[in-house]
């Protein structure tokens, strides 16, 4: 059975992003997957990594559970909007606190990261007010370059599929429903592509090496 973790990066559980996350979750369940939902706006943690990686900052229980959920997952789905050409601060804080050295990656002498989360795939579902041409040619896909290449690929999560919903402020109800149906279909395709496999065992990270 495929293990799917859906992470809602929008702070509000009443947002359209929340509806998209719930739509993916239900479609994956209907397709026979085991699904966990993590809504970042509903958990308690300090999003600021105060000392960078130079000092210890104990993880809150919710973040320890989040790491366990990521280790459990075969496929991770991130659902969030683009704000100011990047991800919401809540999601960035979550990444800063959770994707730690010796857990998500390890420094090597050659300067390249050792990718400790290999064996997992992902999909990112993003919404934005910008039209397609503006995002691609003026912003040069800034959000996706950062999130996919700078974060997910950096720790070994690949391939990463993308679902991007443009010009959301101008979408009518029919268009929104069409996008919801698209998310359902993509969830089903994702599950079909995930074959049971042995992921790396939990590597007992040193939580003090931050």
d(CA 146, CA 127): 16
Give 20's pLDDT tier (boundaries 50, 70, 90).
Answer: very high
How confident is the model over 145-169, as pLDDT tens digits?
999 999 999 999 999 999 999 999 9
Give the tens place of pLDDT for each residue, 115-151.
999 999 999 999 999 988 888 888 888 899 999 999 9
pTM of the model: 0.91
Listed by start position, the domains of the chain span 3-193
Q: How far apart are CA 105 and CA 114, in angstroms?
A: 5
Express as a percent the part of the chain with pLDDT over 70.
Answer: 92
Q: How far apart are CA 128 and CA 68, in angstroms?
A: 30
Q: What is the CATH number of domain 3-193?
A: 3.40.50.360
Answer whether 66's CB lies under 8 Å from 38's CB.
Answer: yes
Q: How far is CA 129 from CA 85, 162, 203, 209, in A?
A: 10, 17, 40, 39
* 153 CB-side CA count, 13 A: 11
Peptide bond into 159 cis (omega under 30): yes
Question: Could you tell me if 210 and 53 are in contact, meaning their C-beta atoms sit under 8 angstroms apart?
Answer: yes
What are the tens digits of pLDDT across the range 91-121?
Answer: 999 999 999 999 999 998 888 889 999 999 9
């Amino acid at each position: 059975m495929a293990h799917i973790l859906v992470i809602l990066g929008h702070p509000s559980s009443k947002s359209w992003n929340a509806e998209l996350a719930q739509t993916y979750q239900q479609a994956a369940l209907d397709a026979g997957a085991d699904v966990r939902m993590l809504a970042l706006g509903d958990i308690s943690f300090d999003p600021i990594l105060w000392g960078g990686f130079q000092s210890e900052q104990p993880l809150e229980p919710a973040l320890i559970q989040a790491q366990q959920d990521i280790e459990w997952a075969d496929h991770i789905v991130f659902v969030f909007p683009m704000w100011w050409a990047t991800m919401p601060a809540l999601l960035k804080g979550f990444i800063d606190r959770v994707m730690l050295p010796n857990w998500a990656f390890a420094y090597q002498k050659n300067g390249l990261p050792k990718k400790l989360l290999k064996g997992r795939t992902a999909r990112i579902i993003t919404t934005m007010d910008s039209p397609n041409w503006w995002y691609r040619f003026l912003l040069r896909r800034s959000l996706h370059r950062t999130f996919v290449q700078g974060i997910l690929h950096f720790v070994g999560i690949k391939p990463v599929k993308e679902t991007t919903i443009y010009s959301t402020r101008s979408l009518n109800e029919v268009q929104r429903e069409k996008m919801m149906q698209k998310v359902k279909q993509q969830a089903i395709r994702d599950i079909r592509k995930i074959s049971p496999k042995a992921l790396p065992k939990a590597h007992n990270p040193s939580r003090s090496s931050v």
